Amino acid sequence: MAKAIANRDEDYSQWYIDIVKKANLADNSAVRGCMVIKPYGYALWENMRDQLDKMFKETGHVNAYFPLFVPKSLFEAEEKNAEGFAKECAVVTHYRLKNNPDEPGKLMVDPEAKLEEELVVRPTSEAIIWNTYRDWINSYRDLPLLINQWANVVRWEMRTRLFLRTAEFLWQEGHTAHSTKEEAIEEAKRMQDVYAQFAEEYMAMPVVRGTKSESERFAGADDTYTIEALMQDGKALQAGTSHFLGQNFAKAFEVKFSNENNQEEYVWATSWGVSTRLIGGLIMTHSDNEGLVLPPKLAPVQVVIIPIPKPGAEIDEVAEKLMRDLKAKGIRVQYDTDAKKRPGFKFAEHELRGVPVRVGIGKRDLEKGVVEIARRDTKEKSAQPLEGVVDHIEQLLGDIQDNLFNRALKFREEKTTVVDTFEEFKAVLKEDIPGFISAHWDGTNETEQKIKELTKATIRCIPNDAPEEEGQCVFSGKPSSRRVLFAKAY
Amino acid sequence: MAKAIANRDEDYSQWYIDIVKKANLADNSAVRGCMVIKPYGYALWENMRDQLDKMFKETGHVNAYFPLFVPKSLFEAEEKNAEGFAKECAVVTHYRLKNNPDEPGKLMVDPEAKLEEELVVRPTSEAIIWNTYRDWINSYRDLPLLINQWANVVRWEMRTRLFLRTAEFLWQEGHTAHSTKEEAIEEAKRMQDVYAQFAEEYMAMPVVRGTKSESERFAGADDTYTIEALMQDGKALQAGTSHFLGQNFAKAFEVKFSNENNQEEYVWATSWGVSTRLIGGLIMTHSDNEGLVLPPKLAPVQVVIIPIPKPGAEIDEVAEKLMRDLKAKGIRVQYDTDAKKRPGFKFAEHELRGVPVRVGIGKRDLEKGVVEIARRDTKEKSAQPLEGVVDHIEQLLGDIQDNLFNRALKFREEKTTVVDTFEEFKAVLKEDIPGFISAHWDGTNETEQKIKELTKATIRCIPNDAPEEEGQCVFSGKPSSRRVLFAKAY
């Protein structure tokens, strides 16, 4: 095939880029660090977005839209948040271009159109949203406010990688306001659960639910709840975060409500987000040397039908009936009738695109009343009787979804190592596929930073399900009461 | 009611703003000219977007996403387009903020983080997209390319008005590439038809389909096809435009394809867009002194059920069954159980929000086996037997949709005046509700500009269905072969 991709075991990084580009998910653009999401990649994002949106609405949230720009004076109001994002802000300073008198046909920034106050292109929207919430919240009757936004954001990253880290990306950001601390924490944890459920049930990507250490928290949060996934190369990916923001933004933007006793209180806040980064996670959880592998629940095309060797009246008739029957079951199906390409070429092409199930319809097979079914995940092929094939395919899509999850879960379990000494810790990190390390930590920022400097591994999270266990910090030897998860991370 | 709105007949402009704000559709923000789209307004936009998206996909288009930023050198490549938008561009010049040494806690633009090349925040995406298409198009087999994008764009407008003209707005922009001129023109006209169908069937807003005069064309287009609607105050609203771009962008960005004879040719282009401006059109087509009036097909809530005077076991039971039955028919229904508000207050509130059908359930009515049904468009009320009420409501929603369209069409027909002299022309424009003026025009830009200076009326379009008719220009007296539509416009 023309579109060869790098070998996954030899050059994981190049393999990843090849998959993104050659499966037509995304490409670099003329703008430094910004990507173009191509139609096939965007169709995948639409499926993810629509499912997440459904889950947000089922948990009581509504969508709204807030401005792209944040005036500098609002941006700097919550100091920790501002400090956390200041270094990566795109800033609008002018509002007009004019003809360049020195270069006919060229434009220049019009120095007379300088803004009085610079505008930051939102890297996240807490500031602009909490400045708005001040007008929306007066009384406890206005709470909770459960709002989500689908938007683009910009963070001027120096080292970018398609989907995983781009200067502009698409995401959703939930911003909720509550009358009590308990309710806000409950909301932040609920959304962590929603993210985990989406990752596991739809992306077939197992995740560890946990809490971030202080140094890894979102800038401006009192606590950050995270879902962490393990990629095939043994590095972790932070896949979604949900923040308990305390009263930090309420205080910065003077957002108070009068409670049932008519007393004024600051409002409690959460925010939570997932982004197009999830597509990177999806790729690095399931794909292989033949290309993309997609979980059926999110695949833009779930079943492709290929005529062998090419379309013809008899094959068309069978294929079109099969299409209708599959569509009637809500299955997304494509009939690839391109007569210019040979079946073998098409097989490779749809493998590269990660289509979960391939149905080959050939004349000789039809005489026997069978078609050939191939599954993308295991590459197993089998002849299936035409009768009952729709039910078989429906079942198979479910099996593939389950198999992808179980395979990834097994991988993560195998690649999670419990260590008790720093020697073991370092040895694990030297392996080809290091994975998660479960180790005791003394709870200090100092130790965490020291470990990071020495090994590049960071604390991914303090897992929700980590049992109380007396032990000694793997680095300092100081006492610790539970293990945390370390890993090198994207 | 607390939320009084201005009288539509006395102050249309204030009435409009009151509707937008008090029906909770949108609000101003801390950023000059940028709006916050509130949850109720966004739910309306979601319904519009989803229906348009469906229609785009049914006509063979796919979605993708291109960068927010356009490097200045790309932006200026198509000169007419650049010239048309240069005066309203937000420009990013820096990519970092830093602590302000003179003001602790404040940030400033870091002068060392100046971009080598400024980035324009997209006012429209032809430039960035055609720069990308160069890599995607090689041969006639790559064509047509039928791509749409849902995105935010920024045009630095000096006079803004919620939804109608805002510095940032949400829209979709289709960008297609074709191998022949004929096919591109056909596509541009097809999308004009799609827009007209959406406006009339979903928004219940009648539109005139036509072609723009040269001076009103999109910057960079060879032809602009438009749909024009008439607002209640007799001003026109350009509701959607579809452009035949010729080979202008292909030439500016060197996008060529090899045809079937292996010869290189420039690609032919279209682009087309509608935006959140449509919400302004929706408001100004149907709403009244009680508030918003929404066509049932787009209303976020189609039916509201109100217990009279308040919820109770018996009423709840009837309401909940009705809810289930309506939902089973795909009808969006809300049961307003807020016991703190009186029925009269709720009636006014849901009228303000434009809910098409209100069902009042009272104890005494229930004894008679009836409920009260009120329709928002005509404010007619009737007692309806509970038996068969679901079918009645379903029918009523259809009737309301039709009535809104017919009412608006009748209004437009009444407010379209055929004139043959400039005196008549000016007299019509002096009326309280001037409307469309159908008049002969000599086809010159000079006459068009002169009329605009003298009357503020512009040529809205040369209607597709204008018959050939010999006549004399209403201003110059020169010969003309068909009438065009003039109006003052938003």
At A423, which CATH number? 3.30.110.30
Residue B168's H or E segment, with its range, is strand B168-178
Which chain A residue is nearest to residue B300, measuring alpha carbons? A62
Give per-residue pLDDT as tens, A347-403.
Answer: 999 999 999 999 999 999 999 999 999 999 999 999 999 999 999 999 999 999 999
- Residues A231 and A373 both lie in one domain: no
Q: What is the distance in angstroms between the Cα of B60 and the nearest Cα belonging to chain A? A: 12
Residue A4: per-residue pLDDT: 85
Give per-residue pLDDT as tens, A91-127.
Answer: 999 999 999 999 988 999 999 999 999 999 999 999 9
* Burial label, B339 (beta-carbon count in 10 A; 0-12, 13-18, 19+): exposed
Q: What is the distance in angstroms between the Cα of A322 and the nearest Cα belonging to chain B? A: 21
Domain span at A477: 416-487
- Put simply, the answer to whether A168 touches B66 (Cβ < 8 Å) is no
Q: Which of B278, B376, B94 is nearest to A156 (CA)?
A: B94
Threshold 0.95, pTM exceeds: yes
**Cα-only R_g, chain B:** 26
DSSP helix/strand/coil, A188: helix
Chain B residues in contact with A41 (beta carbon < 8 A): 64
Chain B residues in contact with A152 (beta carbon < 8 A): 68, 151-152
A440 in any annotated domain? yes
* Burial label, A298 (beta-carbon count in 10 A; 0-12, 13-18, 19+): buried
Distance CA B366, CA B363 (A): 5
- Residues B327 and B459 both lie in one domain: no
DSSP helix/strand/coil, B130: helix
Whether the CA torsion A291, A297, A300, A305 is positive or negative: it is positive
Yes or no: say if B366 and B309 are a contact pair by the CB < 8 Å rule: no
Of B244, B259, B286, which one is at a domain's C-terminal end? B286
- Put simply, the answer to whether B74 touches A30 (Cβ < 8 Å) is yes
- With cut-offs at 50, 70 and 90, classify the pLDDT of residue B3: low
B1 in any annotated domain? no
- Residues B209 and B140 both lie in one domain: yes
- Residues A104 and A152 both lie in one domain: yes
Q: What is the distance in angstroms between the Cα of A91 and the nearest Cα belonging to chain B? A: 5
Of B367, B396, B425, which one is at a domain's C-terminal end? B396
Distance CA A25, CA A43 (A): 9
- Put simply, the answer to whether A88 touches B95 (Cβ < 8 Å) is yes
Which chain B residue is nearest to residue A111, measuring alpha carbons? B91
- Put simply, the answer to whether B63 touches A128 (Cβ < 8 Å) is no
How open is the CA angle A47-A52-A58, to the nearest 5 degrees?
130
* Burial label, B156 (beta-carbon count in 10 A; 0-12, 13-18, 19+): buried
- Residues B238 and B381 both lie in one domain: no
Residue B1: per-residue pLDDT: 45
CA-to-CA separations, B394 to A248, A349, B140, B296, B399, in angstroms, rounded? 49, 48, 49, 10, 9
- Is the per-residue pLDDT at A419 higher than 70? yes
Q: What is the distance in angstroms between the Cα of B176 and the nearest Cα belonging to chain A? A: 13
Chain B residues in contact with A95 (beta carbon < 8 A): 88-91, 156
- Put simply, the answer to whether A79 touches B34 (Cβ < 8 Å) is no
Q: Which of B30, B42, B105 sits opposite A65 (nearest CB)?
A: B42
B7 in any annotated domain? no
- With cut-offs at 50, 70 and 90, classify the pLDDT of residue A23: very high
Which chain B residue is nearest to residue A119, measuring alpha carbons? B31
At A165, which CATH number? 3.30.930.10
How many percent of chain A have pLDDT more than 70? 99
- Residues A187 and A142 both lie in one domain: yes
A314 in any annotated domain? yes
- Residues A316 and A239 both lie in one domain: no
- Residues A165 and A282 both lie in one domain: yes
First to last CA, chain A: 31
Chain B residues in contact with A106 (beta carbon < 8 A): 76
The domain tally of chain A equals: 3
Judging by DSSP bridges, how do beta strands B333-335 and B268-275 pair with one another? unpaired
- Put simply, the answer to whether A34 touches B68 (Cβ < 8 Å) is yes
Whether the CA torsion A399, A400, A404, A410 is positive or negative: it is positive
- Put simply, the answer to whether B71 touches A30 (Cβ < 8 Å) is yes
At A309, which CATH number? 3.40.50.800
Yes or no: say if B338 and B346 are a contact pair by the CB < 8 Å rule: yes
Distance CA B289, CA A5 (A): 64
What is the mean predicted confidence (pLDDT) over B299-316? 94
Yes or no: say if B77 and B255 are a contact pair by the CB < 8 Å rule: no
Yes or no: say if A89 and B108 are a contact pair by the CB < 8 Å rule: no
- Is the per-residue pLDDT at B193 higher than 80? yes
Q: What is the distance in angstroms between the Cα of B470 and the nearest Cα belonging to chain A? A: 42
How open is the CA angle A88-A92-A98, to the nearest 5 degrees?
140
A21 in any annotated domain? yes
- Put simply, the answer to whether B42 touches A64 (Cβ < 8 Å) is yes
Yes or no: say if B29 and A66 are a contact pair by the CB < 8 Å rule: yes
Distance CA B259, CA B419 (A): 50
The string over A430-444, giving b where at least 16 C-beta atoms fall within 10 Å of a residue's C-beta and e elsewhere, is eeebbbbbbbbbbbe
- Put simply, the answer to whether A63 touches B42 (Cβ < 8 Å) is yes
Give per-residue pLDDT as tens, A468-477.
Answer: 999 999 999 9
Q: Residues A432, A436, A440, A446: what is their CA dihedral angle, to the nearest 10 degrees?
A: 80
Give per-residue pLDDT as tens, B155-173.
Answer: 998 899 999 999 999 999 9
* A55 Cβ neighbours under 8 A, 6+ residues apart: A194, A197, A198
Chain B residues in contact with A89 (beta carbon < 8 A): 95-97
- Put simply, the answer to whether A97 touches B72 (Cβ < 8 Å) is yes
Name which of B22, B37, B68 to mutate to probe chain A: the one with the most chain A Cβ atoms within 10 A of its Cβ: B68
Which chain A residue is nearest to residue B90, measuring alpha carbons? A95
- Residues B373 and B436 both lie in one domain: no
Q: Which of A92, A106, A131 sits opposite B121 (nearest CB)?
A: A92
Q: Which of B35, B62, B93 sits opposite A94 (nearest CB)?
A: B93
* A396 Cβ neighbours under 8 A, 6+ residues apart: A357, A373, A375
- Residues B373 and B423 both lie in one domain: no
Q: Which of B34, B63, B65 sits opposite A67 (nearest CB)?
A: B34
Residue A126's H or E segment, with its range, is helix A126-136
- Kindly give the interhelix angle for A39-58 and A181-197, rounded to the nearest 10 degrees: 140
Phi/psi-derived region of residue B149, left when phi > 0, alpha when psi is between -120 and 50, beta in every other case: beta
Distance CA B25, CA A316 (A): 50
**The residue type at B474:** V
Give per-residue pLDDT as tens, B103-142.
Answer: 988 999 999 999 999 999 999 999 999 999 999 999 999 9
Which chain A residue is nearest to residue B36, measuring alpha carbons? A66
- Residues A217 and A251 both lie in one domain: yes
- How many beta-carbon pairs below 8 A join chains A and B? 192
Q: What is the distance in angstroms between the Cα of A478 and the nearest Cα belonging to chain B? A: 37
Residue A158: per-residue pLDDT: 87
Would the ipTM clear 0.90, i.e. be above it? yes
- Put simply, the answer to whether B65 touches A42 (Cβ < 8 Å) is yes
Name which of B22, B29, B136 to mutate to probe chain A: the one with the most chain A Cβ atoms within 10 A of its Cβ: B29
Which chain A residue is nearest to residue B62, measuring alpha carbons? A39
Q: Which of B74, B93, B128 sits opposite A93 (nearest CB)?
A: B93
Name which of A70, A95, A99, A172 to mutate to probe chain B: the one with the most chain B Cβ atoms within 10 A of its Cβ: A95
How many percent of chain A have pLDDT more than 90? 97
DSSP helix/strand/coil, A33: coil
B262 in any annotated domain? yes
CA-to-CA separations, A330 to A60, A255, A390, in angstroms, rounded? 26, 46, 11
Which chain A residue is nearest to residue B46, measuring alpha carbons? A63
Judging by DSSP bridges, how do beta strands B416-418 and B436-440 pair with one another? parallel
Residue A1: per-residue pLDDT: 45
Length of chain A: 490
B33 in any annotated domain? yes
Q: Which of B224, B162, B166 is nearest to B195 (CA)?
A: B224
Of B286, B318, B335, which one is at a domain's C-terminal end? B286
How many C-beta neighbours within 10 Å does residue B236 have? 24
Q: What is the distance in angstroms between the Cα of A339 and the nearest Cα belonging to chain B? A: 13
- Put simply, the answer to whether B96 touches A79 (Cβ < 8 Å) is no
Question: Strand runs (DSSP E) across A100-191, as ranges?
Answer: 107-109, 114-121, 145-154, 168-178
Q: Which residue is associated with the tokens 């120095």?
A: A111
Q: What is the distance in angstroms between the Cα of B61 and the nearest Cα belonging to chain A? A: 10
Yes or no: say if A487 and A460 are a contact pair by the CB < 8 Å rule: yes
- Put simply, the answer to whether A109 touches B94 (Cβ < 8 Å) is no
- DSSP conformational letter for A122: P
- With cut-offs at 50, 70 and 90, classify the pLDDT of residue A2: very low
Distance CA B87, CA B65 (A): 25
CA-to-CA separations, B73 to A199, B150, B152, B252, in angstroms, rounded? 41, 24, 21, 11
Provide the edge-to-edge strand list for the sheet that holds B168-178. B62-63, B145-154, B168-178, B268-275, B236-246, B223-230, B208-211, B458-463, B483-487, B436-440, B416-418
Tokens representing residue A165 in the block: 């880290």
CA-to-CA separations, A86 to A104, A156, A158, in angstroms, rounded? 37, 10, 14
Distance CA B141, CA A451 (A): 55
Q: Which of A93, A131, A154 sits opposite B94 (nearest CB)?
A: A93
- Is the per-residue pLDDT at A267 higher than 60? yes
Q: Which of B29, B63, B105 sits opposite A42 (nearest CB)?
A: B63
Judging by DSSP bridges, how do beta strands B168-178 and B268-275 pair with one another? antiparallel
Residue A360: per-residue pLDDT: 97
Q: What is the distance in angstroms between the Cα of A109 and the nearest Cα belonging to chain B? A: 8
Judging by DSSP bridges, how do beta strands A333-335 and A26-28 pair with one another? unpaired
Distance CA A155, CA A319 (A): 47
Q: What is the distance in angstroms between the Cα of B383 and the nearest Cα belonging to chain A? A: 34
- With cut-offs at 50, 70 and 90, classify the pLDDT of residue B4: confident
Which chain A residue is nearest to residue B68, measuring alpha carbons? A168
B3 in any annotated domain? no
- Mean per-residue pLDDT of chain A: 97
- Put simply, the answer to whether A64 touches B38 (Cβ < 8 Å) is yes
**The residue type at A130:** W
- Residues B263 and B128 both lie in one domain: yes
Q: What is the distance in angstroms between the Cα of A483 and the nearest Cα belonging to chain B? A: 38
Yes or no: say if A117 and A151 are a contact pair by the CB < 8 Å rule: no
Tokens representing residue A488 in the block: 């090198």
Q: Which of B379, B382, B375 is nearest to B397 (CA)?
A: B375
